[in-house]
Structure 1
Amino acid sequence: MRKNVIKGALASVFVIATLAFTSIAKKIDVKESKVTWEGEKVTGSHEGTIDLKSGYLNVEGDKILGGEFVIDMTSLQSTDLEGEYKTKLEGHLKSDDFFGVAKHPEAKLVITTASKKSDETYGIVGDLTIKGITNPVTFDMNYDGKSASADLTIDRTKYEVRYGSGSFFDNLGDKTIYDEFKIAVDLKF
């Protein structure tokens, strides 16, 4: 009888310890979440949206442990143009000159570490994959348990997106497109 009580007590301690240190995958609501982009060139800028296909944050209590987000590159849209110009820009951005969406319909961000900086701000380190090429990224993310937001600046040339880049081509003049583009993410859970 005493052995059974000890075994039961040890099993209870193990279960409680396991539950206390178990992370939860919080899935994002892809319909309510929003990702916007902005790219700049010498003569102006363009902006638009892109959809998330799926995503989650691994959390333990109120602490972010990691996560993964898949971006649907085929959904890339311009919001600052209309008609023929909108269609041309979207087609060009989806072409091999830029993101090669036919061969690479998804991009992915995997959060590898998250360090709490303040009550709702985390320093994030992750791996971003675009066109099958993965590079590390760092950014701050605000997270309150129900939503998360972040602003990322990405050097497109690290992902073999070099069209119109003054870093790789001479004499582009006012046709130069800056290497960095910005992404603003607003996630809902």
Structure 2
Amino acid sequence: MNIIFKSAMILAVVAGTSLINKEVKTVNTETSTAIWTGKKFGGSHNGTIDLKSGQLEFNNNQLTGGEFIINMSSLEVTDLSGDNKAKLEGHLKSDDFFSTATHDTATLKITKVDNTSSPYKVSADLTVKGITNSITFDLTTAEDTATAQIIIDRSKYNVKYGSRSFFSGLGDNFIYDDFEVDVTLKF
């Protein structure tokens, strides 16, 4: 009787385990893209930033989590060239903006996924310049690709330059606090 009971328990565990299909998908940092857009009064700039590493977690083909490390030193401006490009890239990497010499990476860790709708409603902790805040965004997955547009309020990460959240009297010389990052992840 004891052998039959043990055999039944083993079969139940094996059968139950096969119903759960957990999978971690590593993001291909070479083919994935992150395109940022920052806006100022009367204009905008855009560029790219690279992922250092990333992964998405799925359970029964439903997104459940993920973690990413962003290479802040890779920040590049794509709408300018020559000296103007170099000057803006240097300024964005300086202490006025993202302080990449002391904060060369940022991280994003998914903390909650509402997978009852499409696209997924994602909550995550974003850490920039050592400061962590919760953000939310929609994420769509299809086969080997995930896409999202993430809106980030730079003032929450002590990025003050040209911000009306920190300075008054800027007139038309301000930069909007929110910037967009359009992400396409390949895995």
User: Which interval holds the TM-score relative to the shorter structure?
Assistant: over 0.9
CA distance in 1, matches of 2:105, 2:121: 25
Cα deviation code 1:61-119 (max 9, x no counterpart): 2211111111100100000000111001001101111001111111111111111253x
The 3-state SS of whatever aligns with 1:53 is strand
Secondary structure of the 1:175 match is coil
Aligned pairs for 1:94-109 within 5 A: 94-109=93-108
Aligned with 1:15: secondary structure?
helix
Aligned equivalents of 1:117 and 1:167: distance in 2? 36
Give 1:12 deviation, angstroms: 2.4
Q: Does 1:127 align with 2:125?
A: yes
Which ranges in structure 2 are unaligned for 5 or more consecutive residues? none
Of residues 18-27 and 67-76 in structure 1, the stretch that sits farther from structure 2 once superposed is 18-27
Aligned residues: CA RMSD: 1.3
Count of matched residue pairs: 187
Aligned with 1:181 (options 179, 182, 185): 179
Whether 2:116 is the aligned partner of 1:145: answer: no
TM-score by length of 1: 0.94
- Partner letter of residue 7 of structure 1? K
For residues 174 and 123 of structure 1, the distance between their equivalents in structure 2, rounded to whole angstroms, comes to 35
Matched AA of 1:24 = E
Q: Which residue of 1 aligns with 2:158?
A: 160
Residue segments in structure 1 that go unaligned for 5+ positions in a row: none
Q: Percent identity?
A: 48
Alpha-carbon separation, structure 1, partners of 2:65 and 2:168? 41
Alpha carbons 2:27, 2:55 under 8 Å: kept: yes
- In 2, distance between residues paired with 1:167 and 1:106? 24
Alignment partner, residue 23 of structure 1: 22
TM-score normalised to the size of structure 2? 0.95
Residue 3 of structure 1 and its aligned partner are, at CA, apart by 2.5
Aligned-partner residue type, residue 155 of structure 1: D
Q: Which moved more, 1:164-173 or 1:103-112?
A: 164-173
8 Å Cα contact 1:50-1:72 kept in structure 2:
yes
SS at match of 2:89: helix
* Residue pair 2:20, 2:59 contacting (<8 A) in 1 also: yes
